[in-house]
A and B are shown apart, each in its own frame.
Chain A
Amino acid sequence: MSTAPVPAEQGQPAHTEARTERQTKNRILSHLRKQWMLYLMIAPGIVYYIVFKYVPLAGSMIAFQNYQIFNGIQGSPWVGFDNFIYLFTYPDFYIVLRNTALIALYQLVFGFPAPIILALLFNEVRLMLAKRTLQSLFYLPHFLSWVVVGGIVFELLSSQGMVNQLRGLFGLEPILFMQQEGFFRSIVVVSGIWKEVGWGTIIYLAAIAGINPNLYEAAVMDGANRWKQIMYITIPSMAPTILVLFLLNIGNFLELGFDQIYNLLTPMTYSVGDIIETYVYRAGVLQGQYSVTTAIGLFQSVIGFVLLYIFNRLARKSEQGLW
């Protein structure tokens, strides 16, 4: 390696600076020589994340524009918070927001604890064969699409469907469940639990499997029965897992999943079941109100982030948060 001539008047410090600079350059060069293939390998992945994740995130700025498709982002006029003001004075927005928030709340209250309870019940099953068979059955609906599950739900709840068949056995009149506003949100919550409860137990069962068996032995010595073991060992040991999943859930609080609602919704149930995602699809994608619907999406993300921030702070006070 040849040493570059160093001008005498710059003195000693400049000399070392040039040298370290050169060393860094050499290090980078030898690193690249050794690993350029890794950069080549990861390039498509990085391009994917930039184009389909970060570009749309940056594209959210059209919420502050009056976006016109032919002018693009550069050519469309900026309108400040006009879209948000429009939104907050628009009565339909509150209906959609209320529907979204209520369904989200019901899902949190009923849907979130369901896999925890199921995991505890699974854990009490002692026969391995029975446990495995039960698990296979419970995991199955996770792999069905919401179109299929929606079709099943409509079929089961139709006037001659299985549910009304059972009602008939008890001499009850058939009910048109899917067409009535009063049932919609319960159907959403129950079908959501039906589809995902089994799948949701996997992570909790892993948490239970990781509990030190000595804890149970010690508890038995102290005379704790099964119930006490569950209350004072199993559940507290699951707490960190529950907390992390709760926080991840809260961050996406208002994102209910387009597929489920879209496949259960009919115009007869719009007033109770139209949520942000279905509304954004109709008003944005179908009717071309891009800026206003992006403003809704941004509002949704901000709510999610604020909730995540608040609950993470609360969680950190007692135990530990996500960050």
Chain B
Amino acid sequence: MMRQSTGEKAFQWINYMVLAAAAATMITPLLHLLAMSFSSPIAADSKQVFLFPVDFTTASWEQILQNGELWRSFGITLFITVAGTLISMLFSIMTAFPLSRKDFWLRRPVMLGIVITMIFNAPMIPFFLTVRELGMMNSLWALIIPGVIGTFNMIIIRTFFMGIPKELDDSARIDGCHEFRLLFQIYLPLSKPVLATVGLFYAVGYWNTFQRAVLFIRDPEKWPLQMKLRAYLTSPEELAAVNMFLGDYNFNTTTLKAATIIFATLPIIMVYPYLQKYFVKGSLLGSLKE
């Protein structure tokens, strides 16, 4: 080990400090909102709350957890996350497998056709008109089907499949194994880590889905969580289960908004440790190999 010069030591310290300060800004806003959601309205509006609740109260949480509409959009988002992730995985796997096979004749043309769509995005209005033509307006399918395959995710799976030794295919085929069984009984069990990564990417994508909901879901009763959250952030008084202007309550729009933002983020925070385990490796598999 080389001896470090004074300048290098100083740099190391400054580097740690800069990174620690920047990292603190990543988590502080969420902690601040969490503290706000458990604080009294007076404390929240008089700039007393920083990272810890002041005049601890659960009044805001009691209000939003009683809010049936919020739970309904939570349920809708849960449904599209679970159903969407399953459907997306199925479509992506079935598209990736033939494209990973060197002996599949359409591999190159189809791959080229797909990569072109990464450079030329479908413009918003013709995309909107296409989905509407298909009768998906105000249908939850509009949040799933029009983006069912994420090209990047599909390529991650394909790249992984390409790394599985071909000797397996041959021995399986000698045993009379057909393509579907080869995929589902031999390839998929070997691909668990990458499937977990991609599944989590899809799940987060569905959980956070917003633009498609803005475009296709006009009926407020079918709004997913992010749409509902956006609506509440602009008119937070609707969050309360009671009329908050009649009477003296231990919450206000500030604390309600804070609680709702945390509510909508909680599932992401809960899966984050699992996400972390996989996503770094997974996101690097996405580089195109040919």
Contact = CB atoms under 8 A, between A and B. Distances in A.
Interface stretch (B52-60, B175-183, B190-198, B238-246): B175-183
Given A38-B98, A162-B50, A281-B124, A151 B15 contact: no
B283 interface: yes
Interface in B126-183: 126-131, 134, 145-149, 154, 178-180, 183
Contact of A38 (B28, B46, B179): B179
A321 interface: no
Interface in A13-60: 31, 35, 37-39, 41-42, 44-46, 48-49, 51-60
B94 interface: yes
Give 4 nearest A-B pairs by CB, closest first: A45-B95, A59-B126, A297-B123, A145-B208
A42 B98 contact: yes
A52 B122 contact: yes
A290 B110 contact: no
Contacts of B114: 49
B45 A160 contact: yes
Interface of A: 31, 35, 37-39, 41-42, 44-46, 48-49, 51-60, 62, 69, 118, 121-122, 124-126, 130, 133-134, 136-141, 143-148, 150-152, 154-156, 160, 162, 164-165, 168, 194, 198, 202-203, 206, 220, 225-226, 251-252, 255, 258-259, 262-263, 277, 280-281, 284-285, 290, 293-294, 297-298, 300-301, 305, 308
Residue among B92, B122, B226 with the most chain A CB within 10 A?
A: B122
Given A38-B104, A53-B117, A134-B19, A290 B125 contact: yes
B254 interface: yes
Contacts of A35: 103-105, 179
18 contacts: A35-B179, A38-B104, A38-B179, A42-B94, A44-B94, A53-B122, A122-B19, A124-B11, A133-B23, A137-B26, A138-B23, A151-B261, A152-B261, A203-B283, A226-B8, A277-B124, A297-B124, A297-B125
A222 to B, nearest CB: 13
Q: Provide the main secondary structure of the chain B interface.
A: helix
Contacts of A300: 123
A60 B29 contact: no
Interface string B27-56: 111101100100000001111001000000
A220 B1 CA distance: 11
Nearest to B276: A136
Interface in B212-230: 214-215, 226-227, 229-230
Contact of B130 (A59, A136, A252): A59
A59 B210 contact: no
B123 A281 contact: no
A255 B121 contact: yes
B95 A44 contact: yes
B258 interface: yes
Contacts of A262: 211, 214
Given A251-B119, A285-B215, A41 B179 contact: yes
B178 A37 contact: yes
Given A151-B257, A202-B284, A41 B98 contact: yes
B192 to A, nearest CB: 20
A221 B47 CA distance: 56
Nearest to A41: B94
Contacts of A220: 2
B170 to A, nearest CB: 13
A141 B27 CA distance: 8
Contacts of A206: 284
Nearest to B95: A45
B113 interface: yes
A203 B257 contact: no
A144 B268 contact: yes
Contact of B230 (A38, A42, A147, A301): A147
B125 A202 contact: no
Contacts of B258: 155
Contacts of A251: 119
B61 interface: no
Contacts of B279: 139
A236 B157 CA distance: 31
Contact of B91 (A48, A259, A277): A48
